[in-house]
Structure 1
Amino acid sequence: MAQHELTVALAQLTPALRDPAANLARMQDVIATHAETDLVVFPELFWGGYTTTGLEPLACDPHGGAFAELAACAARHGTAVLFGGAEAVEDGFANSAFFIDQEGRPGGTYRKAQLFGDESAAFVPGDELRLITVAGHRLGVMICFDIEFPEVARALARAGAEALVTISANMTPFGFDHHLFATARAVENGLPHIYVNQVGKGEQFVFTGGSMAVSVDGELNARAGDQDETVTRARLALPARSEIRPDYLALRRDVLPVAGGGD
């Protein structure tokens, strides 16, 4: 099968806390200056900044005017966009990843399934996973804590994802954890993994950066560093296959029963 190179801009930035208008302007500027890329990825809860309180004025409305501005920017530059924000849902708010395709069309929303710490009281967990399509390639979306659960990435891989993309707001002292988990999810599923994290001081936490593009063999094809705001470009040759490791998905067996278990 012929490979296609997908270009991705990893926007490791510090959002303006509780200022969606400022963050929208920042996103538009990044898209405009990286119009040669297929996809620009912003961190978790970038729309209003990372917080678990006072969410109503920070929620991103995919039918609202601000979202339409971002969609028009994406269409104008032919660049798809993935970003995080709070989303008003029936029972409260979700911690969501919003996707806009290269023609400026809403392409689906993923709601974070695995909530961390105070997020469990602030957000409603999502109940389904999500594949998005960029330049004809299917990418499996995760948000931060999701990557610490192998079954999330595996389900996306089994559903046909050609790469994984995670938006994050990972904080100290967990920087090493996400470097490890992001790499493991790539290798064990045989899929490239784009990981984009916030950086700098937020409302309660200091975010660890470490945005990167990981190959199917765990190599770093792009890395943004741990402390500075930067937009790093990565290239993914899709579909990707390891030349040295087995195809774990093809070799998998159904889950076996456990002998000698408890309850």
Structure 2
Amino acid sequence: MPLFISSLNSGSNGNCYYVGNEREAVLIDVGISCRQAETRFRRLGLSLDTVKAIFISHEHTDHISGLSQLAGKYKIPVYITAKTLGNSRLMLRGVAVNPFYDNEPVVVGNLRVTAFAKHHDAADPHSFTVSDQHTNVGVFTDIGHPCERLVQHFSQCHAAFLEANYDDEMLERGRYPYFLKQRIRGGKGHLSNQQALNLFIRHKPAYMSHVLLAHLSQDNNNPELLRNLFLPHVDRTNLIVASRFEETPVFRICGERELV
């Protein structure tokens, strides 16, 4: 059974990623408003009624700002670690709130969602893989550096949302104060374009059909620059640069390496 994926929004102004099959789906993070989510689902021809769970990677505002309203309106269960919830100031009344644990899969219908810890300046940050029996999709953003577990999971994905937050030279020359530049590139911030490319070149499985480059900085990156950096290395993998202003199309991901 194929999986279907879309980035509803990706960037410091809000992050929300969709992964589902033909009957049920999950969202990773809800950093956009309920109205924005509804509008983008409608434009994509998707239904929020199919969303059976929301998983939260960490407590930063661009990942949770729309969670309470969306989960409350549609009565969607939320999966979040205790530390993340405690640091989030979220008000999740009338919503089922469930913990998840590192490397322990959560079953949502025919989907299996597995979290693993990542390096980021948050209380208890995690990345995720979403799988069915044959297809694996990774959601890998807000990562300080590519640790061994990221490499392990990335190398098993048929598709991945992969952070490429900043260009080294643009960050160095840019207007950010020194402490913020150090926060971004200091090991618990974000992946640079070059770090993302190195991970892609060295560890992309031959069967990866799609990579969606995600969480681009508005000030320290450029979508065309990033695309040109990756294009010589993509081989048969479809390259998509996720937008901070609109949703991507829905992409069909098959474990059998069927490209659509």
Q: TM-score range by the shorter chain?
A: 0.3 to 0.5
Comparing both structures, which one devotes a greater share of its residues to strand? 1
